[in-house]
Structure 1
Amino acid sequence: MNSWDRKVKVALLSIISNTILIIFKLIAGVLSGSISIISEAIHSGMDLVASFIAFFSVRHSSKPADREHPYGHGKIENLSCIAEGLLIFVAAAMIIKEAVEKINAPTEVEQASLAIAVMIGASLINILVSRKLYQVAREEDSMALEADALHLKTDVYTSFGVAVGLVLIKVTGLNILDPIVAILVALLIIKEAWELCKNALNFLMDTKLTDEEEVQIEEIINKYSDKIMDFHKLKTRKSGNMKHIDFHITVDSNLTVAEIHEIIGCFKKDMADEFKCTRVTVHVDPYRE
């Protein structure tokens, strides 16, 4: 299975799992009257929208470069992360609004055992799906899938937190704990949204690759120190899963074009072996005494 198929199929898995969870959470929320479960259904609804965004972004980000997009379509994934982050902020605001209303007029939580079972089941499903998403996201270097996995990972914590809250309500009889748990869920969601947007904006601003990756690049270049005089002006950035590497080399002015071309080919091959998706641009400067 190629990279594109893997990303699309795992994104589709996220859509299916979120749809199922929304149905069960809504049923449990309506039957129990729990605002924390309703808040979780809202969260899962936003997760579903985010999954659709991830699905369409991974489909389009893998398109090859064309006349209008000579550097490819990779930044679609970065844009999708920002969209997902904004959706999470909206979901958190809706949850807090509903929770505050319930604090002022608390309602009794009914059928708590059913609600607890649904929340624990939701946590287990999201653990499995998020692990799969993280695995493919890391292997294919997909920011959109990583964002989707982060959504589900947060859903694991919030669903489990709601289950704990419902257990406490059942033990203590304090129904006000329900909206308080919902607000804590919303705060966790806001933190998630901030991390998503910050990471996506870094790549849209053409932030360089990590220090570790740049050290690896320099090590590859230095392997050929006997063929070049020096290298300088190293610049790196990332678009989607594509790493762009740009640097200058100084070479003996007596080298032929064919010899220089061979050296550049070695750089490109070694960097492609080290990093899964790269586009390497090498500028040649002749040595002058």
Structure 2
Amino acid sequence: MRPTTVARVSVAVGLAVLALKGLAYWLTGSVSLYSDALESVVNVAAAGVALVAVRVAARPPDENHPYGHTKAEYLAAVVEGALIVWAAVEIVRAAWGRFEDPVALDGLGVGLAVSVAATAINGAWAAVLVRTGRRHRSPALEADGRHLWADVVTTVGVLVGIGLAALTGWWILDPLLAVAVAVNVVVVGVRLLRESVAGLMDEAVPPAEMEAVHEAIRAHMGDALEVHALRARHAGRHTFVEFHLVVRGEATVAESHALCDRLETAVHAAVPESSVTIHVEPEHKGKGHGGVVTLGSDVPHTFT
């Protein structure tokens, strides 16, 4: 499915799961199941934000945004991270009163069964979101999927804990579990915020992807003398690559242009949805490394 289609379905799935978890809380009165339902409220809001972000990111470049709109997805992930942290605060607030006055829970059989059904739906859809997000290099969809995975893990813990509370009569476990959910939610939210801010700050691409760029250049640089000042960054699903190419002094403009075309094609093949900018320089502009590629800081990386 296309990212926009997946994002639309994600909103519907989130609403269905929210309804089920809300029913489980209504049947049992469990504050830990309330915390689980509250996290689903965040899921629905995040899915809506992701839908808007994916649609905006899919727009082509225009006069005001010549590099495209792909960073909208990072903004969506930042919003989702902030919503997650808010949910954690609300969960702790709701659980606080139960520490002094633990309450025995009713209707656990049906309530837990409903929560299990909601968790199964969440788990299946989380796998779809993560797989689609990675395939299309969509930070918003992958962040949404990873959040759902965390939701599945915490729900399983909540269900096990409520079962133990019912068997032992230790109803203090209910608010304790709610706080544990809040801690896990904060960890997920902070991680999402860090990764999203890294994207907005043009953090370098992963080493494996940079190595693929190196290999593509090495294999197709022909009789070029040197490549230096190589840099690459992500912007949503797009990768921007730029470097300086040192050619022989006697090389013509046509020859240099043909070489750049070959290198751009090679990098596109190695890193799909990439945009390549090459600055051609004459022989005397070389850094003296010869036959190597250097990064933006001009630290050499030898082609072997």
With structure 2 as the length reference, what TM-score do the two structures score? 0.91
Q: Secondary structure of the equivalent of 2:151? A: helix
For each residue in 1:94-117, what CA deviation from the matched residue of structure 2 results, as whole angstroms up to 9, or x when unmatched? 001111111122222111111211
The gaps in structure 1 that reach 5 residues or longer are none
* Range with bigger deviation, 187-196 or 215-224: 215-224
Q: Does 1:130 align with 2:126?
A: yes
CA contact (8 A) 1:119 1:160 kept: no
After the TM superposition, list the runs of 4 or more consecutive aligned residues in structure 1 that deviate by more than 3 angstroms. none
State the partner residue of 1:207. 203
Q: Distance in 2 between matches of 1:41 and 1:14?
A: 16
Q: Percent identity?
A: 32
* Range with bigger deviation, 216-225 or 230-239: 216-225
State the partner residue of 1:82. 78
Q: Does 1:119 align with 2:115?
A: yes
Q: 1:242 aligns with which of 231, 238, 241?
A: 238
Q: Distance in 2 between matches of 1:25 and 1:288?
A: 68
Q: Secondary structure of the equivalent of 2:243? A: strand
CA contact (8 A) 1:236 1:246 kept: yes
Q: Does 1:255 align with 2:263?
A: no
Q: Does 1:160 align with 2:156?
A: yes
Aligned AA for 1:39? S
CA contact (8 A) 1:115 1:163 kept: no
State the partner residue of 2:299. none
State the partner residue of 2:39. 43
Aligned AA for 1:124? A
For each residue in 1:22-53, what CA deviation from the matched residue of structure 2 results, as whole angstroms up to 9, or x when unmatched? 11211221221100111111100001000001
CA contact (8 A) 1:122 1:159 kept: no
State the partner residue of 1:146. 142
Aligned AA for 2:235? S
Q: Secondary structure of the equivalent of 2:284? A: coil
Q: Does 1:267 align with 2:263?
A: yes
Q: Secondary structure of the equivalent of 1:10? A: helix
Q: Distance in 1 between matches of 2:22 and 2:222?
A: 67
Q: Distance in 1 between matches of 2:133 and 2:279?
A: 32
CA contact (8 A) 2:247 2:283 kept: yes
Aligned AA for 1:99? A
Aligned AA for 2:109? S
Q: Distance in 2 between matches of 1:131 and 1:28?
A: 24
CA contact (8 A) 2:20 2:115 kept: no
The gaps in structure 2 that reach 5 residues or longer are 286-304
Q: Distance in 1 between matches of 2:17 and 2:284?
A: 68
CA contact (8 A) 1:166 1:178 kept: yes
Q: Distance in 1 between matches of 2:222 and 2:130?
A: 41
How big is the shift at 1:225? 4.0
State the partner residue of 2:28. 32
Q: Distance in 2 between matches of 1:9 and 1:224?
A: 38
CA contact (8 A) 2:217 2:267 kept: no
CA RMSD after TM alignment:
1.2
With structure 1 as the length reference, what TM-score do the two structures score? 0.96
Q: 1:66 aligns with which of 58, 62, 72?
A: 62
Q: Distance in 2 between matches of 1:276 and 1:218?
A: 15
How big is the shift at 1:273? 1.2
Q: Secondary structure of the equivalent of 1:72? A: coil
CA contact (8 A) 1:32 1:109 kept: yes
State the partner residue of 1:223. 219
Q: Distance in 1 between matches of 2:132 and 2:195?
A: 19
CA contact (8 A) 1:206 1:237 kept: yes
CA contact (8 A) 2:223 2:247 kept: yes
* Range with bigger deviation, 131-140 or 5-14: 5-14
Q: Does 1:169 align with 2:165?
A: yes
Q: Does 1:102 align with 2:98?
A: yes
Q: Distance in 1 between matches of 2:204 and 2:157?
A: 37
Q: Distance in 2 between matches of 1:160 and 1:111?
A: 18
